[in-house]
Structure 1
Amino acid sequence: MRKERLKAVMAMALIIPALCMPAKVTADINNSFSDIHSNNWFYSPVLRLNSLKAISGFPDNTFRPYNYTTKAEFVKILLDAFKIPVENGHDYSNIKDHWADNYVSTAIANGIIPESTYNGSFMPDKLITRIEMASMILSMLNVQYVNDKSPFDDISNEVSTTAFHEYLIMGSIKDGKRYFKPYSNVTRAEASAAIVRAIDYMENSNGYKKNSHKELVQQEKLIAKQKEEIRTQELYNTLVKPSAVIAQVTENAKLFSSYYAPYNVVGTVNKGTKVEIIYGMYTQWFYVSYGNVKGWVSGKVLSIPPDPPTNTNKMTKEQLEGFVNYKGFASNAPYFVWVDIDRQLTHVFSGSKGNWKLNKTIQCATGKNESPTIRGIFTVSRRGDWFYNPRYRSGAKYWVEFSGDYLFHSISLDSYGNIKDPTLGKRASSGCIRLSIEDSKWIYTYIPAGTTVWVY
């Protein structure tokens, strides 16, 4: 009986002159709200409801689109938007003497709010949820519920499924999934948009569904794209692993601002704490981090794990190119260099951001765990054809600097230029990146200053 009564009222609403329900907000509709702008996604529905005198702003000329909506407020907006006559005389004790009692009573009497849902306790000042909003809109439109598989990943019931089936509430997309967010509260902007969609549906449901199907197609494309991105990320997570050196603190210790003047304490670290070694100094002091704390600590209080074996599972050319382009690496030179510590390989790419092509892959030897190669994104700067370090009694040819004292250079040589340590393919250096003499000369010759280097 109530549904028939509501249908009659709705039929009257359909014959109201078209100017009472403008199809679109046009430039000649005055926007008096200081916080509503034409580039807002809710601009059109807000002004449209305002032109219908279904929703208004605040005395300071604001609309406050992100304020949440109470159940009473939503009922009033909904009934005013659909030109439903507000009736007196209904007695629902829970809302008696409330400012919206006639609106809520009318909605209950006409089945817009099912009495089973009301159950004597409507709580008009409680914030409305998305599922409550959907239920009222479907009842207003007298839509027959659909019993089908839920299109949402966070709810499965007839209300949400029907709202989606009729293109009234499409949900939001995140991580390749569609969410209804049934128990989230509704902002004034969201309420305006949902009610305007319902008005369009009432005026011409077939035309509305046809137009709204385009939105669904775009959603499906977005879901497919996000799922592909997730699959890609999962693949790269299995192929490209971080090579951080994690040490354990063996006794309570202080962290200092520098290793050469260990008196300025910047923090403390407790026994058993795991810290990441960022870089070291002569295997005696280490710059470490844990949480948001960074500082120098004595090597005497660290238990550093042994060097792990080299990962011999190589990535294909397609995987390498796909990965660096997926990550969006940029360079100020036509080259990009990736040092893969896990595999002890240096990959050189040519091209530009989004279009890197593998030029060559070079076997290398990075720092041992007790003297790790610094990790991160750096830039090639200076270079030279020879250096010798008396402290280590070791030198190298064709060095190229990418971060302070961290260099690409040849395998270890003695002071006469003879090979001292030819080791490549495993962690072996004091922090620099060793290459064969031939490959170090190639880097020295062809990789210009400004080239981005990613060590990971």
Structure 2
Amino acid sequence: MLHKKKMKGPMKVGLIVVVLSLFGFGILNASANPISPSFTDVHNDFWAKDEVTQLVDLKIINGYPDKQFRPSLEVSRAQAANLITNALELPFSSYKPIFKDVSAKSSHLKGAMATYEAGIFLGKEDGTFGVGDSLTREQMATVIVRAFKLQDTGEEITFKDDNKISESHKLGVKVLAQHGITTGKEDGTFDPKTAVNRATYVVFLHRAMLQNKLIEKLPATEFTEPNTYGTFDTVRHEQQFVEVPLSTTAKTYLRSNYIMQFAGEKTVKHAHATDIIYTYRISGFPSVTVKMTKRELPNGDYFLFNELRNPQNIPVTVDVIQTEEGLSKAVLHEYSRFPIKKSVDETFGYDLMTYPTGIFEKIQTDGKVSQRMIGKSYQSNELNQKYPTGAESHTRELHQESEAFSGVILGETQLSVYRLQSRGFDVVDQWLLASEERLFEDRKQMDAWMLESAVNYKKRNKWYTAEGPYNKMAVTVEPMPKSGRGYGRNLLLVKEDRVMALYSETGARYYENLLYNSFANLDVFRGKSTYWETEVTSTYLKSLYGITAPFVDTRFNEQIALFMYNGGKAFEHKDYNVGLKNYANLLVSQKEKGNIIKVDNESYYISDYFPGAQKVKTHTSMNHALGGMNILLLAYQELNDPAYLATATSIQTAIVKEKNKWIRPDGDIWYKISPEREFSGRDYVHLTLEDLINSYELWSAIDESKLPIFEEMIRSKAGYLNENKLGYTTKIKKGLERINMSDILPAGSEHTDAL
């Protein structure tokens, strides 16, 4: 209470020292003993740092959730009333229907009622308190004089603009000046009608409290220099904040200059992850939404996918703010330590993307280390093309990849900012992966992944969304923007094959998390179907057969089934073979549906693509034929269904009967056979050899009589690669070792990914 602050003598001084020390700001906190700043915009050069620091420590005034004080913001009458109530510890006054703009549920109730009862704020002539009105300098003078019961000393004081001071506030301005709480402006004016900002109000309040001996004057404050990360800037203007209940270990807020309204929460369960989706709308523009998807993983880690969707012609910036306590040190390990050498090819053109920002490593005061992988932001617009069949093709035009993360450490508090900046008519995505553990076992392991991501930047995911990763699409898809920056969800990259291999080798937590995320993304992409259809039209297939999206790509489905099978076994999922079974059943059914290229009554190839809307038969490429056959053999081993073996045998006998047609004169393999049984196209460099080795291994376990054809084709393909020094992949090297054919390893360099 007020009388406690007016104690006399040694007891009072001792109590103040103890209290201020508890608040982290004591008499010992002089310039020789710097303290950590509480705000990013209150620093050693700030003119009101001492007053702000002391009143904040005494909990008379607060900052904002983003660790800013915003000293230049105007103070409203309601805010001024709350501050005076805190400073004087005014007793609580229950609601009375006095003011039209103060209800029983109003956030301004406490200050408005308390200061009214104390005779400090009397309200306005129109019957309102004026809660949202800015407090002018002359009004401030009057309320401070009333609050602290300052008396007229009789000294005559006038200002050059005395004629501009309202009659009702002339006395307040004079008395405030008599007591030295204000000296006016440097030009001799008082500037009575100007609104008071937060810094000025705090200084005047502080001076009044000093004069009334409610507080002691403390030595000058000196702050330590905070550590910043990225391009950290303060946002000085007024901002709106909404707290998002993402985590119990960190506070999360949305910050924007627009009012944000909560629009709903939804939980979606995947087989091995759970999505909690929070949606917010921008007030006045209901179609502008912020969606935050927290993907909780079985090991306690989580992805956070942030999306700002803005179909309006207005610029909107929304920042995701997170604050965490108990930090002693942090470091940002950036991918940019490993420069990317950009290249352009005829198939994909120029890829604008690079890699994520990096890993933010936090060391707690108890010595525990946690890590967070932070992605960049991606600004794009959606492209949709409709067809007469009612089907659609979906891509995006990427406008910009940019750094989204910045941060600062204030004492033991870490502030992280993730910026979503929209120019209008666009979508902005940003993601992060948070773990309370190390994502990588050591620095060497982390650096190896970052280097690999730089070298293979075209085939490593970095633009993650809650619906799956986006990557550069071949220029032969539609819709393709004039800029050539067409991006989409490529099913071969939604599944994380390379990550699966690295997880098998290292067991690193980061790879584990990417695999959990991949399983969820495949679940989202597939929807209610038992197989996967592309969402992008290939102009190559459209020109050949009139096929548009959606359609089944057999290679995509084969690779996904294999990925889910291997991944499921690695994670001991009960449903690990469901994808394998579903796809094998789909392949078996294609003979009856007519999606085959017949060699004879017992032998046929399954077409590469199954159109969704068009009745047409497509070609079969060797890599697709082998991939489908291999899946059928694996499914037969796993589920023992004779239909799988019968279909695989039909494909094998077709290859045997047309072996001499498949092998080109130079030893390479033709790429495809048309529905008219014509062979054409240059084969992939490495991919088909990987498939042939896999076929050899699978038939070895089932029927060795089928092996000669595959050995002959392996030796022919490997000989072609060797003669042209085209190298080999790690899969080829290890595969040839397993089947005792290492002697035919092609000359040239080793590749991580097949060409």
- TM bucket (normalised to shorter chain) is 0.3 to 0.5
Give TM-score scaled by structure 2 length. Answer: 0.27
Give TM-score scaled by structure 1 length. Answer: 0.41
User: Whose relative contact order is higher, 1 or 2, with alpha carbons under 8 Å and at least 6 apart?
Assistant: 1
